[in-house]
Amino acid sequence: MIKNSTFQDHHYNILLIACLACLIVFLPLSAAQASSGSSGSGHDTHSGGHKAPAKGHDTHAAKGHTTDGHATQGDHQSGAFDMGETVMHHLVNIETHELPILNKTSHGWAWKEIPVDGLKFSVGGIDMTVNKPVIFMMLGGFILLFVFIINFRGGKLMRNRLAHILEVYVLFIRDEVVYPNLGEEDGRKFLPLFLTFFFFILILNLSGLIPFGYSASANINVTAGLAIVALLVIQGAGIAKFGFFTHFRSALVPSGLPWPLLFIMIPIEFVGIVAKPFALCIRLFANLVAGHAALIVLLLLIIVGKSFIIAPFPMVGILFISTMELFVAHLQAFIFTILTTLFVSLTLHPSH
Amino acid sequence: MLAFLAELGANAYAHLSAGIGAGLVTIGAGLGIGRIGGSAMEGIARQPEAAAKIQTAMLISAALIEGIALLSAVVCLLLNLKA
């Protein structure tokens, strides 16, 4: 562990230059990958998504050579490069993953693409295949465990850079999110859960921003799982505090209403109970997907433009959107945590 | 114009609706988040010492609106890509 921090300002400059260099080198290559397609992965389930753009690119190249670029109309007629298909493939592909290894395909250089859903099994008819989101969730979980275990040994915080960053996050969640909403007594019980929510979602979001990473929270099943945990916690907190019947009476039946209205109000309140976690799930998922879709569309502009001359302009856009994604990754983790905290607080302190 | 769209094929309506929907989503979310941001600015200007609390409340409200807006945006995206 680093005891004395000697991280000077000029190191940040070097880091920034290195990041920019990575960006400039890697991103056009990944854009080229988007059009060139993969070979030999042996997966036919996604071939409709992946092979079609590759074929289209081929036909375009052939036509461009033969007719000197006069074939643009014909290209659109035969669906040469299907941008929507490529974007959808990149957003929903959970079967293969790109590695930072270049190999030569029939369409040119491309990143090596390996299948990652090798461990197929199902429990009681439910598909439990270990695929890309699962692998990245496990990775994120292990990284979190590792980071926290090495930095909080023997109940004491280590004195290094990483531990100080973690301390800032933890104190922020404790003092700005959990304690003001739940109070110190209840907050202390729920704090580990909310910290886990925050750090897990944060690391899932951030892992999509590193090169060759993948954001597991851009998959709706992952966010749905998190939201189901939130639903169980919100309702379980009420059940644990008030008991089953008292909790659901106060949650479902508003007091002081004439009884015929209850036929309307009870379904509405029930929908409200389910809608809160549903909104949590959709919000996290849609924010991540929207960011990734914006990045991919900007990258594909290079291919649609059919020229490397326009490449710098999407690059600048991607730089800005990536920076915004860095903010969104933190913001969405924070929003998920604070909304769950607020919902638990509403359950624990009913207004009537 | 509808006859023109009909010539393009049945999917043209889906693409049209996706575009119009995306525009409507933008209008709604822009109005909502703009109002929140404006009010938060005003509140912070009147009471700078409460800036931290106002910002937190602002982010939460903005996230609630954004959630609905993004849900609709995803619907539009699916309409456009899957139609």
CB contact under 8 A, A282 and B73: no
* Chain A residues touching residue B55 (CB < 8 angstroms): none
Q: What structural domains does chain B harbor? A: 11-82 (1.20.20.10)
pTM: 0.76
* Chain B residues touching residue A290 (CB < 8 angstroms): 70, 73-74
Residues of B with CB under 8 A from a CB of A: 52, 56, 59-60, 63-64, 66-68, 70-71, 73-74, 77, 80-82
In Å, how far is A93's CA from the nearest CA of chain B?
15
Q: In this predicted structure, what is the pLDDT of residue A200?
A: 94
* Chain A residues touching residue B71 (CB < 8 angstroms): 282-283, 286
The pLDDT tens digits of the residues spanning B5-39 come to 566 676 778 888 889 999 999 999 999 999 999 99
In Å, how far is B46's CA from the nearest CA of chain A?
22
CB contact under 8 A, B64 and A279: yes
Q: In this predicted structure, what is the pLDDT of residue A15?
A: 56
Which among A176, A293, A335 has the least Cβ separation from residue B63?
A335
Q: In this predicted structure, what is the pLDDT of residue A199?
A: 95
The pLDDT tens digits of the residues spanning B33-71 come to 999 999 999 999 999 999 888 988 898 888 888 888 888
- The three-state DSSP-derived secondary structure of chain A is CCCCCCCCHHHHHHHHHHHHHHHHHHHHHHHHHHHHCCCCCCCCCCHHHHHHHHHHHHHHHHHHHHHCCCCHHHHHHCCCCCHHHHHHHHHHCCCEEEEEEEEEECCEEEEEEEECCCECCEECCEECCECHHHHHHHHHHHHHHHHHHHHEECCEECCCHHHHHHHHHHHHHHHHHHHHHHHHHHHHHHHHHHHHHHHHHHHHHHCCCCCCCCCHHHCHHHHHHHHHHHHHHHHHHHHHHHCHHHHHHHHHCCCCCCHHHHHHHHHHHHHHHHHHHHHHHHHHHHHHHHHHHHHHHHHHHHHHHCCCCCCHHHHHHHHHHHHHHHHHHHHHHHHHHHHHHHHHHHHHCCCC
Q: What is the mean pLDDT of each run of 10 residues along chain A (352 residues)?
A: 48 58 55 46 37 39 37 43 79 84 81 82 80 90 91 80 89 91 89 93 92 88 93 92 88 82 89 90 89 87 81 89 92 93 89 62
Rounded to two decimals, the ipTM of the complex is 0.76
Nearest C-alpha in B relative to A340: B60
